[in-house]
Structure formats: C-alpha cells, structure tokens
Amino acid sequence: MSRLEQNKTYFLSENVSGASNGECRFRFEIARSAICFYFDAEDEDLISPFTQDNEDIWQGDAVEVFISPDGDLKNYKELEVSPFGVRFYGAIRNEDGKTPVLTKQAPPFAARVERTEKGYRVSIELPLSALDGFDEQKMKLNAFRLDKKADGRQLLYALNPTLCASFHRPAFFM
C-alpha cells in the first residue's frame, strides 16, 4: 500500500497472513486543529472488561492507531479505544523497530463509540497540539483492531499488516 488518502475508506486485513475479511473499515481526516480517525467494526461478541482509561485494553476488543507525527519511526504515539469507550494513550520509543518501550500518558483525545447492528463504530479526535512536531507530509501511521473471541482467542487486524504477531513494527507505518 502506498500513501494513505484522507477520507478514503480502507479495510483492515488479518495481521499475520494479510488476508482481508471486510469486517473492519478505517478512514481518517486532518481538520484545522485535529486529526480524526474512524473505525467501523463488525463484532458479534464484545469482550472488554476494562472500565478505566489507560488500563491494558489491548487484552480485549479494541481499535488502535499508532502515529508518528513527524515520520520518526523510533518515536510514536499509541491510541486505543475499547467498544465501551475506554481510552488508552502512550508514547512509544522503539529503537530497533521490534522492542517497544511504552510510557503511559493521560489520553489527550476524545473518543465516541456507538453500537451498530453488527458491532460498533469509533470516532477519535486527537488535537494536533498533542502531537509535537506534527507534519502532515511526513507523518506515518498504521491502524489496528483487536478482536477478542468468546473462546479466548484474539484475532489481530491491521491497515498495513505487519505479517507477525505484533503491531509494534513501525517499518509498516504508512
């Protein structure tokens, strides 16, 4: 996949194999003072026991965006939202492109979640002022979905699949 286009709908694919199933749609737009991310996920069993911001919500159902505001792939932000509106935010330092070091921070973004007939829809509004060095021409990102199943499995999906069991592969940011 080449350069991402604003307001274009993309389908996330299974992260390890790259296979598409059409169950999660993603798009983004850059407004005057914020960057907005939109997910529409099909999910028959919403599993996320978390109730407080910055709990480890990636252990259940969630959508995520990793964004490097200036294109530096060693430093990026991680935004997550559960199907129940719980948020997660952190700064990541990833020197070797495989070993993330996370520093949790208070989420500076607003998130809205609504249930749909087939799952849930998430809107995230991240103020550009929260992204030091933001440069629309240099920024890089990847978007993800974690789908926890009732049998305990967790399926991973990505805008640009990392082709492994981890999302923390900044070389796959777009």
The domain locations on the chain are: 10-172
Q: Hey, what amino acid is at 116? A: T
> What is the C-alpha to C-alpha distance for residues 110 and 21, in angstroms, rounded to an integer?
28
Give 31-56 pLDDT, tens digit per residue.
999 999 999 999 999 999 999 999 99
Give 92-141 pLDDT, tens digit per residue.
999 999 999 999 999 999 999 999 999 999 999 999 999 999 999 999 99
Residue 2: which pLDDT band, with cuts at 50, 70 and 90?
A: low
Q: Coil, helix or strand for 58?
A: helix
Taking alpha carbons only, the member of 58, 122, 54, 117 closest to residue 84 is 122
Mean pLDDT computed over 62-70: 98
Single pTM value for the model: 0.96
- Which has the higher per-residue pLDDT, 38 or 2? 38
φ, ψ of residue 24 in degrees (nearest 5): -140, 125
User: 171: which residues sit within 8 A by CB, 6+ positions away?
Assistant: 73, 97
CATH of domain 10-172: 2.60.40.1190
Q: What is the mean pLDDT of the chain?
A: 96
Mean pLDDT computed over 142-159: 96
Residue 3: which pLDDT band, with cuts at 50, 70 and 90?
A: confident
Task: Give residue 151's pLDDT.
Answer: 94
> What is the C-alpha to C-alpha distance for residues 41 and 62, in angstroms, rounded to an integer?
10
Mean pLDDT computed over 9-34: 96
Is the CB of residue 70 less than 8 Å from the CB of residue 137?
no
- Checking if the pLDDT of 1 tops 80, the result is no
Distance from CA of residue 115 to its chain's centroid?
18
Mean pLDDT computed over 150-160: 96
